C-alpha cells in the first residue's frame, strides 16, 4: 500500500475494511491497494484460506464475522461484497457501528431491504454508496459529459445489448437461486439499468420486460430484455443473453470470440454442467484471491488496452445531431461532419473503472461531497430490475414510484 502520492505530499487516507473476500472483492482489492487515498486495513470472511491470503498479501487484520470487523475502531468504512442475500443485513450492521458503507450490486433483493438500508444510514449518520456498476466506468462518464454539453443536441434514445458467457462461469449455490438474488436479471441488469439511468437523467417512468430460462444446466434466468421509458419520453432498450454461444466482443472489428472462456472452453463447460461433472465449488474458489485463476479476474487492470463489449454490452446513444458509442480507447461521435474519436475523461484506461468508486467513497466521507450513487439512487436501479422480472411474470407494463434524478 502506497503511503503517500507519487509527488511526495501527504494525504488523509480513508481506512477501509472488506466484508466478503470473493470474486468481486478480487477486483476491488488491487484498486484499493493502488490508491493514494485508501488504506486497506481489514477483511472478514468465513473462508480461512481466503483470510490467510489476505493477511499475507495486504498485511491487514482478519475477522471471521462482520460484527468483529465493525467493532474494530480503525475501520472507517466497510465494503460489502458478500452474497446478495446478505447485502442489506451486512450494510445495516456496518451502519449501526457507525461505519460508512459501499455495497456491491444489486443493492438488495427487495425494495423493503433497500428502504431499511437507507433508513439505517440516515439514523446513524453514515454515507451509503451503491457500487460496482459499470456506470462508474470512464466511457460512461464521458458519454454523460457529451450529452450534458449539448454538443450533439438533446438525448433521443438509448440501446444496449450484451452477449456474455456469464451462465457458464463458476457459480455458488446462492447464485443459482433467484430467491437469493441469483440469475442474470439480478446480477447483470444493474450494470445496464444504472448506466441508462445515469445517461438518461435517472427518472424512469415505466418498464415492460421479459426474462428467459432455457439451459437445463442452470436453474436460473440467463436472459432478459426490456423497454424503459423515461419521464421525458426518452426510450431505452436493454438486453443480456448470458448463455455464451456468442459473445459480444465479436461485435467490434478489434474484438474476438473469446471473453472469459475460449470457444472450446465454453463447449467443455456447457457439457460438464449438463452431465453433472463440473466441480463448481473448486472452480469458484480458484477465482478468489490466491486461487489459480485469480489472474483471469485481475489481469490487465493497470495496462491500457482496447475496450470490447463485456458484461455491460454494446451501448448506442442517439442524440439529435449524432450517435455515440464506445471506440477502442474513447468515444465515437458519428455526426454530420463524419466520425470523431473523443478521448475518455482524463485519458483514462477504457477497461478500468473501480478507482471511480473509491473516489466517490473518499470524497463523500473525507470531503463531505454529495454521493451520486446514493442509497435512493441504488434503490431506483433495483426498482427497475425488479420491475423487469415482475413484468415478465405478469406480462404487462410496470409503472415506477421510487425514481430519483441524476445529479
Contacts of 45 (CB under 8 A, 6+ apart): 19, 20, 21, 22, 51, 54, 62, 64
Per DSSP, the three-state class of 109 is: coil
- The fold of the 14-133+354-374 domain, in CATH, is Rossmann fold (3.40.50)
What class, spelled out in words, does domain 135-349+383-399 have in CATH?
Answer: alpha beta
3-state helix, strand, coil in the chain (%, to 5): 40, 20, 40
Q: Residue 305 is placed in which grid cell? A: 488496452
Q: Judge contact between 40 and 328, C-beta under 8 A.
A: no
Burial class (CB in 10 A: 0-12, 13-18, 19+), 308: buried
318: β partners = 157, 323
Q: How far apart are the first and last CA of the chain?
A: 33
Q: Judge contact between 344 and 142, C-beta under 8 A.
A: yes
Q: What is the pLDDT of residue 313?
A: 96
Does this chain's domain 14-133+354-374 share its CATH topology with 135-349+383-399? no
The stretches of 288-348 forming alpha helices (DSSP H) are 294-298
CA of 203: how far to CAs of 37, 198, 398, in Å? 33, 9, 14
Per DSSP, the three-state class of 62 is: strand
CA of 248: how far to CAs of 29, 121, 307, in Å? 27, 38, 12
CA of 199: how far to CAs of 136, 141, 148, 195, 317, in Å? 11, 8, 9, 6, 9
Q: Residue 178 is placed in which grid cell? A: 433467484
Per DSSP, the three-state class of 352 is: coil
Q: Judge contact between 44 and 66, C-beta under 8 A.
A: yes
Series of mean pLDDT values for 10-residue runs along the chain (407 residues): 49 96 85 93 95 93 97 98 97 98 97 98 98 92 96 97 95 92 96 98 98 97 98 98 96 85 93 91 80 56 78 97 97 97 85 83 96 97 98 98 96
Per-domain residue ranges of the chain:
14-133+354-374, 135-349+383-399
Phi first, then psi: what are they for 321, rounded to 5°? -120, 20
Amino acid at each position: 500500500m502506497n503511503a503517500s502520492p507519487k509527488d511526495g505530499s501527504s494525504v488523509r487516507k480513508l481506512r477501509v475494511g472488506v466484508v466478503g473476500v470473493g470474486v468481486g472483492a478480487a477486483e476491488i482489492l488491487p484498486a484499493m491497494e493502488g490508491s493514494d487515498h485508501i488504506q486497506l486495513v481489514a477483511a472478514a470472511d468465513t473462508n480461512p484460506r481466503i483470510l490467510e491470503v489476505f493477511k499475507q498479501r495486504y498485511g491487514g487484520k482478519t475477522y471471521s464475522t462482520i460484527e468483529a470487523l465493525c467493532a474494530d475502531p480503525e475501520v472507517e468504512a466497510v465494503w460489502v461484497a458478500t452474497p446478495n442475500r446478505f447485502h442489506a443485513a451486512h450494510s445495516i450492521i456496518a451502519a449501526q457501528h457507525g461505519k460508512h458503507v459501499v455495497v456491491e450490486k444489486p443493492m438488495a433483493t427487495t425494495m423493503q431491504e433497500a428502504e431499511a438500508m437507507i433508513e439505517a444510514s440516515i439514523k446513524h449518520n453514515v454515507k451509503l454508496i451503491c457500487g460496482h456498476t459499470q456506470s462508474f466506468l470512464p466511457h460512461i462518464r464521458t458519454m454523460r459529459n457529451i450529452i450534458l454539453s449539448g454538443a450533439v443536441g438533446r438525448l433521443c434514445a438509448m440501446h444496449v445489448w450484451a452477449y456474455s458467457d456469464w451462465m457458464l462461469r463458476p457459480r455458488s449455490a446462492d447464485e443459482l437461486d433467484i430467491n437469493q438474488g441469483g440469475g442474470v436479471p439480478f446480477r447483470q441488469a444493474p450494470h445496464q439499468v444504472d448506466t441508462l439511468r445515469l445517461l438518461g437523467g435517472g427518472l424512469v417512468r415505466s418498464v415492460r420486460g421479459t426474462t428467459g430460462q432455457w439451459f437445463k444446466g442452470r436453474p436460473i434466468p440467463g436472459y432478459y430484455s426490456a423497454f424503459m421509458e423515461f419521464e421525458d419520453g426518452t426510450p431505452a432498450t436493454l438486453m443480456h443473453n448470458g448463455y455464451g454461444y456468442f459473445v459480444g466482443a465479436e461485435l467490434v472489428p478489434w474484438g474476438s470470440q473469446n471473453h472469459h472462456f475460449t470457444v472450446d472452453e465454453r463447449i467443455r463447460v456447457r457439457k460438464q454442467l449438463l452431465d453433472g461433472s463440473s466441480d463448481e465449488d473448486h472452480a469458484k474458489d480458484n477465482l478468489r484471491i490466491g486461487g489459480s485463476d485469480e489472474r483471469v479476474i485481475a489481469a490487465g487492470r493497470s495496462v491500457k488496452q482496447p475496450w470490447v463489449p463485456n458484461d455491460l454490452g454494446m451501448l448506442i446513444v442517439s442524440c439529435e445531431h449524432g450517435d455515440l458509442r464506445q471506440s477502442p480507447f474513447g468515444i465515437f461521435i458519428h455526426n454530420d461532419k463524419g466520425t470523431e474519436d473523443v478521448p475518455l475523461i482524463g485519458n483514462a484506461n477504457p477497461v478500468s473503472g473501480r478507482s471511480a468508486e473509491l473516489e466517490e467513497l473518499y470524497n463523500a466521507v473525507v470531503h463531505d461531497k454529495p454521493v451520486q450513487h446514493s442509497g435512493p439512487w441504488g434503490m431506483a436501479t433495483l426498482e427497475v430490475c425488479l420491475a423487469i422480472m415482475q413484468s415478465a411474470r405478469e406480462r404487462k407494463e410496470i409503472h415506477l414510484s421510487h425514481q430519483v434524478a441524476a445529479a
